[in-house]
Structure formats: C-alpha cells, structure tokens
Amino acid sequence: MNSRERVIRTLRQEEVDRIPRDLWCLPYVPKYRKEELEEVLKKFPLDIAGPSYRYGVGKRERGNPNEVGHYVDSWGCVWYVAEPGVVGEVKEPPLDDWTNLDNYELPWEIIEEADLSQVNECCAKSDKFMLAGTGIRPFERMQFLRGTEKLFIDLAYGTKEVYKLRDMIHDFYIKELLMWANTDVDAVSFMDDWGTQKTLLISPEQWRDIFKPLYKEYCDILHEKGKYVFFHSDGNIELIYPDLIEIGVDAVNSQLFCMDIEKLGKLYSGKITFWGEIDRQHILPFGTEEDVRNAVKRVANSLIKGKRTGVIAQCEWGKNDSRENIEAVFDEWNKF
C-alpha cells in the first residue's frame, strides 16, 4: 500500500496498513532547525506532499515575511513580526476606512501570473497523496483587510460594505480554486480560524448565513472535479462540525484538545476524516514524551472505530517543540 492509497482509504473510512502521516512546520523550523527536520522526515516519511508551483508576485509586496520588522503582502496588508520564524500579525489594514473600498484592487496578478506547469508532472511521478495548499481564507482575509475589531462590529451591525467585501474576496478565491481543480492533485485545502478556546467567534447562525454558502461552493467545485476537500480551522469549532460534514468537507484539521475529543468521536467518527492534531498549545511545547504518547492514545481511542481509521497522524512543529516530542507523536501512532 503506497502513500496515496493509504490516505485515500483513510478518507473513505476503510482499513489501512498504518495511520498516514502529515507534519506541519512553522517557518522557524525549516529555517533554523533544518537538520533536525530532515532527520525526523527520514525516520518518519510523510504520506502527504505538495506539488511544485509558483504564484505570481503581487504588485504591492514589500519586505521579507517571517523576519523581524514589517512586510506588505500582495493584498496590501502590513504585517509586523516581533521574532524570527513566526508569521506575525496585521497592524495596518488597507480598508481601515470603508471609503477605500470602491478603489480597492484585488491582487489578480498572483493568480493570473501563477505557474502550475509542473504540478501534473509532480503528481504523476510521486506515490504520495498530493495536496494543494491554497491561500483561500475568506474570513481571515476580511480581518486582514478591514482589521479584526472593525470587522466584528461590521458583522454585528450588518454593514452593507462587509457583504460587498465578502463577495469580492469570494470571487477571487473561486478563480484560485478553479485553477487548482483543473490540475491532477488529489485534494485541495482551504482554511479559516473560527474558534476561541471555548466556542465560535461569531454565532453559528451568523456563520451559516454569511460564510457557510462560500464553503459549500468550494466543496462543490472540488468534488465535481474529483478532488477531496481538506479544511483547517483553529479553536473550538464543535458547533459547526455537522455543517462541515453536510457541505462535503472530507478531512478537517482542528484543535481537538480545545474540544471534547470523546464526544467528537462518538458523534462524527466515520462521517469525516480527522486530519490531526496533537495539542500544540501545551503538550507539544511543554509536555514530556509520555504526555505526548498519552495524547496520541487519547485521540486514537476516541476517534478510531474498529477497522475504520478515519484519522491522519498530523501534528504541527512549533518553534519551541522538541524533536523528541515530534518523534514520539509518530512513533506512538505506529502502534495503531
């Protein structure tokens, strides 16, 4: 059983020879801990990979991301980075004043000038499950453009401009999604961080009214092209798990340890694939190897039902996580 077959069988809730592996790294790790990363990947080869591609360069891009200081992304958002190897946060949103909306130009050049010419060849040559990671994140992009506090006020009051901005961004992402849907990748991912530590950032009713239709369209486009849908969201998103299943998300990456893992397994195992994860707020950076192994056991015992695995052994390697803890994650998963 090769990696592609292993992941596809997992997505179909079928029996596999072992749990498939996936590892995410914050920018600090490949930049400053490259040798450790290479050793871990040699010991625990991953089953999910991405093809070679290049997006166009945004006309507004300035500076170097993930380095101390500030940079401007292709959308014109000014990011500030306080320490090396982290993403940073937007401090200067270009639509801080709604009067700028009418003249705001989307960065179409990054799609129109994208080079995906090597994607199909990469897919043909590899036995890995090929997942295209996109920049599609409508809610977060609205925050980056408008500013988080102002966006929440706009949503609360139903400001007309917020719907115009949503639709502008959605049109852009539809074009980006179609670009990937017409390649040979196995799956495409998109994201939005919807949860606090305890619940959603907005009411589930408002989420279903404003954002769920966008995600439904993304899922429909990908499924029509025979692609699997992968979705990531931080925080406690338990309230929208049924909606994600309903619209056709095949695999969800969420912060399981912000939620009742046993309840999630009881309600949703067999209905969606759990794409990780292991607690990256407390256990991976501060826990012992035994803590890590116990966390894996808890996830496995809660989510695996009989021969239907429906789980991908994913974790995120952060700046302060020890190599030993990351290896413990994959070593423990090998026992299931």
Examine residue 251 and state whether it is found in any structural domain, yes or no. Answer: yes
Report the Cα 133 to chain-centroid distance in Å: 8
Return the pLDDT at 66. 82
Inside any domain, residue 67: no
Q: Look at residue 145 and give its three-state secondary structure.
A: helix
Q: Is residue 89 part of a domain?
A: no
CATH code for the domain in which residue 15 is found: 3.20.20.210
Is 66 inside a domain boundary?
A: no
The answer to whether residue 314 is domain-embedded is yes
H or E, element range at 254: strand 251-254
Cβ–Cβ < 8 Å for 10, 310: yes
Give the range of the structural domain holding residue 255, as residue numbers without chain letter. 3-57+95-333
The closest alpha carbon to 276, from 326, 213, 218, belongs to 326
CA–CA gap between residue 162 and residue 292 (Å, rounded): 42
**Residue 6 φ/ψ region, left for φ over 0, alpha for ψ in the -120 to 50 degree band, beta for the rest:** alpha
Residue 69 lies in a domain: no
In a domain, 326, yes or no: yes
Q: Is residue 82 part of a domain?
A: no
Helices (H), the chain: 3-11, 28-32, 34-43, 109-112, 119-125, 138-146, 148-157, 160-181, 204-210, 212-224, 241-247, 261-268, 283-286, 289-303, 323-333
**Tens of pLDDT along the chain (336 residues)?**
999 999 999 999 999 999 999 999 999 999 999 999 999 999 999 999 999 999 999 999 999 998 899 999 999 999 999 988 888 999 999 999 999 999 999 999 999 999 999 999 999 999 999 999 999 999 999 999 999 999 999 999 999 999 999 999 999 999 999 999 999 999 999 999 999 999 999 999 999 999 999 999 999 999 999 999 999 999 999 999 999 999 999 999 999 999 999 999 999 999 999 999 999 999 999 999 999 999 999 999 999 987 778 999 999 999 999 999 999 999 999 998
Count: domains in the chain: 1
